[in-house]
Amino acid sequence: MEKDGHYIYCIIGSAQDRNFGPNGIGSRGEVLTIGYNDLCMVVSSHPLTKFTVSRDNLIAHERVIETVMKEFDSVLPVRFGTIASSADEIRNLLDRRSREFKNLLRDMDHKIELGVKGLWKDMKTIYKELTRENKDIKRAQGEILSAKGKKSIGAKIELGKLVEEALTRKKEREQERVTETLRKIAFDFKINKTIGGEMFMNAAFLVDKGREKEFDNIMEELTARYQSRIKFYYAGPLPVFNFVNVAIYPEEWEK
């Protein structure tokens, strides 16, 4: 018979056992807590075989943490895919790393993560702006029109590099313009990798729960200000994955 372990979602500060309902990964029973003193890990049963990395499991992982966040003001996400073989392993780890976890819980108290992505609506307009702003791009375009054969190919390669470099710089400037407004009410922020040419900004902001409405209002102002140029995607409140993501390595269970 396949042995079950405990899949771990997050860490909270609580001296009481809790039940968060049957919404864990794989629908294998209740989401419960295993605690030591005034620290708990939120877990559900999961086979001790190799964990399946999938979109469904990732969504379930985040959904449980968001459920816990409704009741607790400080929640430490644990890295996706972490499984302990026994309750004793969890208690021993909470004991060994109790100071670290308590400090992180204090730092994240009453804080949430808000995610903002910014995408240019019309890339043709952006490329026209690059040509106006960059003399080298304009020169390279002229060389393509007048060049033939290998020279034409070389000119096109050079133009591609110039456009890519100019687009990166333009993304950074646009990103800085938007984040400068939002970061004023955030404890911290993180810039993540963008995807595709249209996305110039992919940022996460660590914000006090009491200032979430203020952040919402600023996002509404930015949306109105740039409505003809930029489409914003705004998400939250989210678990603080960009600022805390507790990692537990296999050798730690063995101590």
Query: Could you give the CA distance from residue 143 to residue 156 in angstroms, rounded to a whole number?
Result: 9
End-to-end distance of the chain based on CA atoms, in angstroms?
27
Q: What is the pLDDT of residues 83-120, one digit of tens each?
A: 998 999 999 999 999 999 999 999 999 999 999 999 99
Spatial separation of the C-alpha atoms in residues 171 and 183, rounded to whole Å: 17
| Confidence (pTM) | 0.83
129/167 Cα distance (integer angstroms):
10
DSSP letter, residue 17: -
pLDDT for position 155: 63
- CA proximity to 209, closest of 112, 115, 104, 113: 112
Q: How many CA atoms lie within 13 A of 165 on its CB side?
A: 9
State both tokens at 177: 């313009």
The pLDDT tens digits of the residues spanning 154-190 come to: 667 766 787 778 788 889 999 999 999 998 899 999 9
- Centre a 10 Å sphere on the Cβ of residue 168 and count the other Cβ atoms it contains: 12
| 8 A C-beta contact, residue 8 and residue 43 | yes
